[in-house]
Structure 1
Amino acid sequence: MSRAYDYVVVGAGSAGCVLANRLSENGRYSVCLLEAGPPDRYLWIHIPIGYAKTMFHPVYNWGFYTDPDPGMHDRKIYWPRGRGFGGCSSVNGLIYIRGQKADYDAWAAAGNEGWSWDQVLPYFRRAEHNDLGAGPTRGTEGPLWASSIKARHPLTEAFIGAANRLGVPRVDDFNSGDQEGVGYYQLTTRNGLRCSTSVAYLRPAMGRPNLTVESNAHAEKVLFEGTRAVGVQYRQGGRSLSVRANREVILSAGALQSPQLLQLSGVGPRELLQQFGIPLVHALPGVGENLQDHLQIRLMYECTQPITTNDDLNSLVRKMRMGMQWLLTRTGPLAIGINQGGLFTNVHSPDGLPDIQYHFGTLSADSAGGSVHPFSGFTMSVCQLRPQSRGYVRIKSADPMDAPSMQPNYLSAELDRQTAIAGVRYTRKLAETEPLKSLIRREYRPGPACESDAEILEFCREYGASIFHPSGTCKMGNDPLAVVDQRLRVHGVQGLRVVDCSIMPTLVSGNTNVPVVMIAEKASEMILEEANQPSLSQRVPLTSTRAELEAQAS
């Protein structure tokens, strides 16, 4: 390890770009950021509608598939993951959502001190530049833009109007902590361009002498001296290299690859590591467990009028018009992306909180990012916000270049099955309500033959897909399956933290990109606090449950 830095961050994604900026900001500490992919120079990353171009890109997308899922007719579900500067924030659907107040209060109630809504709100506001202006829950000075959709689309207006008739209020801001409502989403865009964490955080920091960024550097394992993380081994240009971390190694490789990297490095379930001959550094049975994701059920409709994005994309003249509108004014469909309308409401949960979310898109296609249908079509995609189904991520070999085994176990919980059925029925209720009803010629999928609860559930199993929010695989807490403590330090070792979507004990109620930015903002402050006050870095005593568990594991 000829090179040494104070901090080595693995992954230049939604969290890693934030950490690289904040940890190098005061100039006191040196930071090395390792990214397996390339810089974000591909044009379609930066054009919001380019989401369709990056969905299956062989360079900028990992293009993972799950294992055959028994709850989904043994289908392998496509899981795109961003590869390159910005990570998933460079290829996602741009939706600016924080989740509900209750999500974070539940994290704190489970023993994760410092993670209640009131305690994380300052970090949301710190990150945010909201065009709605300052408010009790909004920020206007941060680098990450929350831009409102100014143009009004007749289909989206009809969707909103139908929800209003069913008692859901129209809102402009879904991010105040109480999500109930329907309206246009805000997007992580700025002046018609994508505002990824690479654009918002990494690019402004790239010229700092104390920040080194290595692209096309695939992390192979964390290096340990005893139980202390001291560096990272990575592959770049066909060579295996290593870099030393004098203070900490921070994993921000995401909910799939952070647990994979821990397991490859000797931190994880003992039997799994033994199976592949990986020397044990510390037995942590929860590494890779607790996998959660949002399952989307996409109902598609044929529209009575040629006003959809299908019509735009199926016409050469209209495509040229779209392109010119974006080039000249940075507005129009190219500046918005796929989904415009959002709706949060309760259809099944006894607590009365919103338990489903809609992504309303003015186009239709057989798959996310696929070619649009030849007819005028639109999509109402509904998902359960807080699924109870749990899966896992586990290495399949000791080769870091092999994708891990990913098993989401969708619809394995009864609540999830009942909520999926209720979500489909509520969608049909919306479709039968004016002013949306008059714009619908037919339900293309699932179609009128799908009516009973059993038939609807079969439709969900056959056509359900991910909204690309895998989380929870290095969960925060002190229970037997917890991987990190409330300061995101990996249990049982020193000098190692995880900062990404994997630390969520439970999945937040909505899209995960903005919560990950908040997590990284909060983590960077904790890391710098500990650097300035070494006493803060001392371990919080483990509970007897964890102590007993680790004694058994050793």
Structure 2
Amino acid sequence: MEVNPNSNLDEELKIDAEIRNLWSESIHDRGQRKTFNKTKEFYDFIIVGAGTAGCVLARELIYNIPNINILVLEAGPPNTQVNDIMRSPCGFRSVYRTSETDWGYSTEDQKMPGTVDPTKEVINKGIPYARGKVIGGCSTVNAMIYIRGQKVDYDLWAAQGPEYKIWDYDHCLEAFKAIENNTRENPDEEFKNYHGFNGLLYVQDHLDEYDIVKDVAKVANNLGIPYNNDFNGVRQNGVGRYQHTMKDGKRFSFADGYLTDALKKVETYPPSKPFGVTPHGIGDDVGKYVAVNVKSFAHMLNILWDEEKKDENVAIGVKYFYNGEIHDALIAPKGEVIICGGAINSAQILMLSGIGPKNNLEEYNIKVRKELPVGHNLLDHPSCSVTAKVSVPNSTSTSQLHYWSNGFEVGIFHKGNIEGKIPSQEEFLDERPDIQSYANASVIDPSIAFNPSSKKIEILSLLSVLNLPLSVGHLELCNSNPFLHPKIFLNYYEKSEDLYRMMSALKLLREILKQPPLSTVWGVKEIGFNDEFGKWCSVNDMSDEDWEQYIRNKTYSSFHPCGTVKMAPESQGGCVNHRLQVYGTKNLRVIDASIFPTIPAGNLNAPTAMVAWKASRLIEEDYINKV
């Protein structure tokens, strides 16, 4: 990995920003790209994006296919210089909108008819949309919660046709177990059936639950929600402790586990040959240095195509911007270009390379190579919270309260009520829960958590996430400049059922906060939120119309975008096939959360890694069978 341990990361980030601005303001808009020197390199596989999927893929390919070399491109900085705060359980809060490890996206304002009163127009305000821009991607900056989703999620993927059988739950479980190194002490036999203990990703139970959070779980159980000691096991519904991607209480990313291991494979074959492989069509004398070459601060520009085979759309490499120069990286005859940029970047890269909706591409004079619904089917988990001020009885508890800001400890999974009412006992027991809630004692209001200047207040926050939304968004290009962000339209609550189910979840959380011992021992009071002027507002006795306004104003993303390069038959809106190959192209795959046909019911880090692990086996099969 090209990292100078003595370098100044702030200075590198400053230089990177200056180079990007130069491209955006001077070079791209004037069409003067040729003023930079161009260098060429040759690899067997080129992986664009060193996030969760890219890290897993690099490691699995380099160990399973002999005598290859791999280039991994990452637009962000190396994770070797990530600070200790980001490695701590609460550290994920420090990166949003305040760090160069975040892409800094924002979504668009959207007007739509109201849900409670369709005659009134409502506005979904644009929100910050954090995405990891660093080696390890979102696994380096997320909340570290390890959730796989539900069995039916993957069986739905497999139901798209006989060839999709490889994506059913039983096949996916094999991959989940292979990846995982679970450190639970004395696991029972049922737990062992669902978990792995020899993989490269460390997963552990939350080390401790603070008393107030334990009492949240007790209250939820008293209301009829059953305990669950493994959300990744036989069922997901219930209340219990989260599992986290941590080792010894600190973040353990896929860069820590998978990419680090990939970089250990450095033998040469044969040792007398130079680094690199011969390009397409130039003899059979291929000398290779078997290694993974990771470049940080390397911004992907577009895919390179074989212009002699225009009708076949044969990918032969990539063009990227690195250290002030444009580079062409080409692949060997049996090689592939693999896009692992995530739901936003992968879609943007394809569209900039001529694969996507015809109208959007032609609007910016991009040659259409293959018309596909890239950027459509944007799925995400909207989230909203109910917050209460906490008055603790003594200074010892107060000091503990400041220590509670240590990440999410307890989760609650249940079915939401489609009429917006508090869920019934039957809905608590439903084994296809669509609501995921987090209990988190903290010292900052999540409704203003993205404003670094906000005053800290002592609170108990219960956050609900809509895990199976019906509303679907999209993204589109706003320019042909690869350094400009696409427009992102989330379409939260476009389907009325989504809003009513969120309303149902928040009413349940309000009910939990009212119950003893939260209301007595812990002095939970003043359930509400801070408005845009910093005024505290109560959520007691609100009408459904009030709830709708509250939800639309206070909804944030869980930062789980997926689906924009959908895996499905092309006739059903698919962009990649069951082997994740882009329709109408050769030597090109997309492997990340963008290929999800539907969104899993839970955090997406684990499912993304699972997809990459399985995809590595598909690539290996195809590589062996290529002439």
Asked if Structure 1 and Structure 2 have the same fold, meaning a TM-score greater than 0.5 normalized by the shorter chain, the answer is yes
Residues 307 and 12 of structure 1: is their aligned pair in 2 closer, same or farther, counting only changes over 3 Å?
farther
Cα offset, 1:119, TM superposition:
1.3
Please show how residues 485-496 of structure 1 align to structure 2 within 5 Å: 485-496=577-588
1:107: which partner in 2? 157
1:241: which partner in 2? 327
Cα offset, 1:2, TM superposition:
2.7
Match of 1:279 among 354, 364, 367: 367
Q: Does residue 186 of the first structure (1) align with residue 226 of the second (2)?
A: no
Deviations 1:242-288 (A, max 9, x none): 1012211111000001000000000111111111111121111x100
1:216: which partner in 2? 297
Runs (5+) with no aligned partner, structure 2: 1-38, 113-121, 267-290, 419-426, 530-536
Deviations 1:484-505 (A, max 9, x none): 1111111111111111111111
Cα offset, 1:313, TM superposition:
9.1
Structure 2 counterpart of 1:113, one-letter code: K
Residues 275 and 266 of structure 1: is their aligned pair in 2 closer, same or farther, counting only changes over 3 Å?
same
**What is the aligned-residue RMSD (CA, Å)?**
2.2
Q: Distance in 2 between matches of 1:130 and 1:159?
A: 26
Q: Percent identity?
A: 32
1:432: which partner in 2? 514
1:358: which partner in 2? 437
2:416: which partner in 1? 347
Q: Distance in 1 between matches of 2:451 and 2:602?
A: 23
Q: Is the 8 A contact 2:376 2:474 kept in 1?
A: yes
2:67: which partner in 1? 28
Structure 1 counterpart of 2:586, one-letter code: Q
Name which one, 1 or 2, has greater alpha-carbon Rg: 2
Q: Distance in 2 between matches of 1:312 and 1:473?
A: 45
Q: Does residue 517 of the first structure (1) align with residue 593 of the second (2)?
A: no
Deviations 1:358-387 (A, max 9, x none): 011111423345567544311100011100
Structure 2 counterpart of 1:414, one-letter code: S
Q: Distance in 1 between matches of 2:395 and 2:565?
A: 41
Cα offset, 1:418, TM superposition:
1.3
Cα offset, 1:306, TM superposition:
6.2
Please show how residues 261-300 of structure 1 align to structure 2 within 5 Å: 261-284=349-372, 286-300=373-387
Match of 2:95 among 42, 46, 54: 54
Residues 128 and 308 of structure 1: is their aligned pair in 2 closer, same or farther, counting only changes over 3 Å?
farther
Q: Does residue 415 of the first structure (1) align with residue 501 of the second (2)?
A: no
Q: Distance in 2 between matches of 1:427 and 1:299?
A: 7
Cα offset, 1:73, TM superposition:
2.2
Cα offset, 1:435, TM superposition:
3.1
1:232: which partner in 2? 318
Cα offset, 1:46, TM superposition:
2.1
The 3-state SS of whatever aligns with 2:572 is coil
Q: Is the 8 A contact 1:311 1:375 kept in 2?
A: no
Deviations 1:166-190 (A, max 9, x none): 2112222110152011111111110
Q: Distance in 1 between matches of 2:209 and 2:52?
A: 30
1:441: which partner in 2? 525
Q: Is the 8 A contact 1:53 1:369 kept in 2?
A: no
Q: Is the 8 A contact 2:392 2:398 kept in 1?
A: no
1:42: which partner in 2? 82
Cα offset, 1:452, TM superposition:
1.2
2:221: which partner in 1? 164
Q: Distance in 2 between matches of 1:401 and 1:308?
A: 50
2:600: which partner in 1? 508
Q: Distance in 1 between matches of 2:49 and 2:395?
A: 38
Cα offset, 1:311, TM superposition:
4.6
Q: Distance in 2 between matches of 1:307 and 1:37?
A: 45
Match of 1:466 among 557, 560, 563: 557
The 3-state SS of whatever aligns with 2:40 is coil
Residues 313 and 12 of structure 1: is their aligned pair in 2 closer, same or farther, counting only changes over 3 Å?
farther
Cα offset, 1:193, TM superposition:
1.6
Q: Is the 8 A contact 1:347 1:426 kept in 2?
A: no
1:397: which partner in 2? 479
The 3-state SS of whatever aligns with 1:2 is strand
Cα offset, 1:451, TM superposition:
1.3
Q: Distance in 2 between matches of 1:517 and 1:267?
A: 25
Residues 531 and 310 of structure 1: is their aligned pair in 2 closer, same or farther, counting only changes over 3 Å?
farther
Match of 1:124 among 164, 176, 189: 176
Cα offset, 1:39, TM superposition:
0.4
Q: How many residue pairs align between the two structures?
A: 516
2:548: which partner in 1? 457
Deviations 1:338-357 (A, max 9, x none): 21110101122687621100
Bigger shift: residues 62-71 or 265-274 = 62-71
Residues 79 and 308 of structure 1: is their aligned pair in 2 closer, same or farther, counting only changes over 3 Å?
farther
Structure 1 counterpart of 2:368, one-letter code: L
Q: Distance in 1 between matches of 2:90 and 2:141?
A: 10
Task: State the TM-score, normalized to the length of structure 1.
Answer: 0.89
Cα offset, 1:307, TM superposition:
8.9
